[in-house]
Amino acid sequence: MSEKGMFGVQGSGDTSGFGGLVNANINIGSTQRPFGGYFDQVADDLERAYPLFSDAIEKVVVDRGELTLFIKRDRLFDVAKILRDQLKFEMCMGVSGVHYPEESGRELHAVYSLLSITRNQKIRLEVCVSDKDSHLPSLVEVWAGLNWHERETFDMFGIIFDNHPGLTRILMPDDWPGHPQRKDYPLGGIEIEYKGATVPAPSQRRSY
């Protein structure tokens, strides 16, 4: 077996580890019933509890053993309250951002991981917004533990959570330009100074 660099790279001089990485864009469509396991029960219970279920859900995806409900932005708060109060999803484990620059008009995704201790079940919610109109309703009123998670998602991705009690940056300085975890954010860095030597920032070391 011949030795190669990470992800199959060889002979390029690229030491980043990503020289041979091929990124395939896969758009997963809506899953058809039956979803399997307890996923059908969750969908049925939500549909009974929320008469606007069909209008609120963009699609349902079952992938890698997880159920993800894609929710329309203007229905997110209502669906969250019903999931907490009627379907007993007492905990939201956090919200994270994802940036898909190739998805025109829905470049930014917010992903919520929910846990029901009562039902011993886990599901995910996902909401898509445009990077030109990146507003979502804050869910801190529903799950108070989301306070800092929403701040981090705002800081790193620029998703604005309306009615958040104090939406400020949490990792970067208040005057920091841009949102560092977006895929179009430039590779940068701070020069590291040693005694008698300087290591340049990553963006100055090589071009791709």
Average the pLDDT over 126-134 and give the result.
Answer: 97
Domains and CATH numbers, the chain: 28-204 (3.30.460.80)
C-alpha pair distances (Å), 144 with each of 50, 58, 75, 132: 23, 26, 19, 27
Q: Are 157 and 97 in contact (CB under 8 A)?
A: yes
- Global pTM value: 0.80
pLDDT in tens, 139-185: 999 999 999 999 999 999 999 999 999 999 999 999 888 999 999 88
pLDDT score for 17: 53
CB 125 within 8 Å of CB 91: no
- Locate all alpha helices (DSSP H) within the chain, ordered by sequence: 39-49, 53-56, 76-85, 147-157
18-35: per-residue pLDDT in tens?
555 566 666 678 899 899
Q: Which of 75, 61, 14, 62 is nearest to 205 (CA)?
A: 14
Question: Is 164 in contact with 148 (CB distance < 8 Å)?
Answer: no
**pLDDT at 204 > cutoff 90:** no
Q: Using one digit for the tens of pLDDT, what is the confidence trace for 50-98?
A: 999 989 999 999 999 999 999 999 999 999 999 999 999 999 999 999 9
